[in-house]
Structure 1
Amino acid sequence: MSTKVLVLGAGGAIAQHVTEFLKENKNIELTLFARNIEHLNQHQSSANIVKGDVLNPNDLNNAIKDQDVVYANLSGPMDKLAGEIVKAMDKNGVKRLIFVTSLGIYHEIPGKFGVWNERMIGKDLIPYRQAADIIERSSLNYTIVRPSWLTDKDEVEYETTQKGESFLGTEVSRKAVAAYIANIIEHPEKDNKASVGVNKPGIYGDKPVFY
């Protein structure tokens, strides 16, 4: 039996890498959900493509119904988005959620990099943290993903840290974050009820080298 996976925010760069990683997996049935479906890769002919808005309860409920895994990679009012997703998943009895937030939401970055990160992201960290809190309080089997500063490098190197551990890595490629997420989708028992930092190994410092 195939695993039904709903991708919310499917037009985003990380999400498109995820769907590329998964498209050859015959055991996964993808539904790609986005406000602007014309931005989706047209070669995703085997995927179901749904136009909708996560903040529209009818759109969201119709998309989540009968899914096995929900992967959300969104921008906007993160706390409201998380709240609507948790509510719809509870209503439809769907348990597995993968939700992308931001590094720094737990003040988990030590030293100068932590100071720099909070200065750069500023108050935007608050709704990301609120989103994580909403998900962590839920009854869902969640993985909260906290990527480092993102690059477009064509590489899939990554290492992970758990909530409560120091986050040191200053960058990671979108493709590497997607590789991690695709692995979780294919092995949904991994990193359950976990908040996971994702960064490129060995790249540590006071700020990303591209700043």
Structure 2
Amino acid sequence: MTNVLVVGASGQISKEAIDLYLEKTDFDLTLFLRDESKLPAYDSDRISVIEGDATDKDAVEAAVEGMDVVFVSSTGDTLGTQAQEIVNAMEKKGVERLIFVTALHIYDEVPGKFGKWNDENIGPYLGPFREAADIIEASSLNYTILRPAWLTNYDEVEYETTAKGEPFKGTEVSRKSVADLSVDLSKDSSLHSRESIGMNKPNTDGDKPDWM
């Protein structure tokens, strides 16, 4: 049986991922978050919950114990610290597969007017995402870093990817698409192994997302 730890389990991408893990796999899920009351009432015996802070070394080590995959979708000024504690715990416990959601433009990879618009709107908030990515890329783990475009709540799975070093494509992508790829990455440990990939919905190029 595959055991998956979901860090930041109350987030919107995580909730989409949890639903898809339950639908598309037989994996057992451990949901790690600071406040269990933020979770819906899941009707599944494949789910357990741990309340804890991802910056807490002991809590993270205990949560990682016995896992096969760690999926992280989290935010905040402490994201670099969270990444470091997760990497340290995984390396210590011999858990290799890490899927970590960050943000577009952490490598200044978004070209043109959309790149400028990103700088103006989210540039000041990207530091912790880049810090987390740098920590993960320096690790020994079998990681995949996801850099989604601006996120929508559309009930669709439609995306394309770009590699690190390639210009970012598109302006938006659904949270469900990010979750769907994350589940696929959990099922196939060789898929996008040790890669940082951009995600966007095809044919959404523009100066900014249409809905902004």
Q: Which residue of 1 aligns with 2:156?
A: 155
Report the Cα distance in structure 1 between the residues aligned to 2:25 and 2:185, rounded to whole angstroms. Answer: 16
Seen in structure 2, the aligned counterparts of structure 1 residues 210 and 40 have a Cα distance that, compared at 3 Å, is: same
TM-score, normalised via structure 2 length: 0.95
Paired residue for 2:51? 51
Alignment partner, residue 208 of structure 1: 209
Identity of aligned residues (%): 49
1:61 aligned onto 2:61: yes
CA contact (8 A) 1:23 1:44 kept: no
Tell me which residue corresponds to 2:115.
Answer: 114
- 1:105 has 2:106 as partner: yes
* Counterpart for residue 36 of structure 2: 37
Distance of 1:64 and 1:95 partners within structure 2: 11
1:24 Cα deviation after fit? 3.5
Instruction: Give the SS at the match of 1:23.
Output: helix
RMSD across aligned C-alpha pairs, in angstroms?
Answer: 1.2
How many residues align structurally? Answer: 210
Structure 1, 2-11 or 75-84: larger mean CA deviation: 75-84
The one-letter code matched in structure 1 to 2:146 is V
Aligned residue identity for 2:178: V
TM-score scaled to structure 1, two decimals? 0.96
Alignment of 1:123-202 (within 5 A): 123-202=124-203
8 Å Cα contact 2:72/2:100 also seen in 1: yes
Specify every segment of 5 or more residues in structure 1 that has no aligned partner in the other structure, as ranges. Answer: none
1-structure distance, mates of 2:82, 2:124: 17
The answer to whether the Cα contact below 8 Å between 1:5 and 1:67 also exists between their aligned partners in 2 is: yes
Classify 1:175/1:25 alpha carbon distance in 2 versus 1 (closer, same or farther; 3 Å): closer
Does residue 1:95 correspond to 2:96, yes or no? yes
Shift of 1:44: 4.3
Q: Secondary structure at the residue paired with 2:63? A: helix
CA distance in 2, matches of 1:18, 1:44: 15
CA distance in 2, matches of 1:51, 1:127: 23
Offset at residue 26 of structure 1 (A): 5.3
Counterpart secondary structure, 1:205: coil
- AA aligned to 1:51 is E
For residues 68 and 205 of structure 1, do their structure 2 counterparts lie closer, same or farther at Cα, with a shift above 3 Å needed?
same
Where does residue 19 of structure 1 map in the other structure?
Answer: 18
Q: Quick one: structure 1 residues 126 and 65, their matched pair in 2 at CA, closer, same or farther if it must change by over 3 Å?
A: same
- Asked if the contact 2:162–2:169 (Cα under 8 Å) also holds between the matched residues in 1, the reply is no
| Alignment-derived partner of residue 79 in structure 1 | 80
Provide structure 2 residue ranges, at least 5 long, that are not aligned to the other structure. Answer: none
The amino acid across from 1:38 in the alignment is S
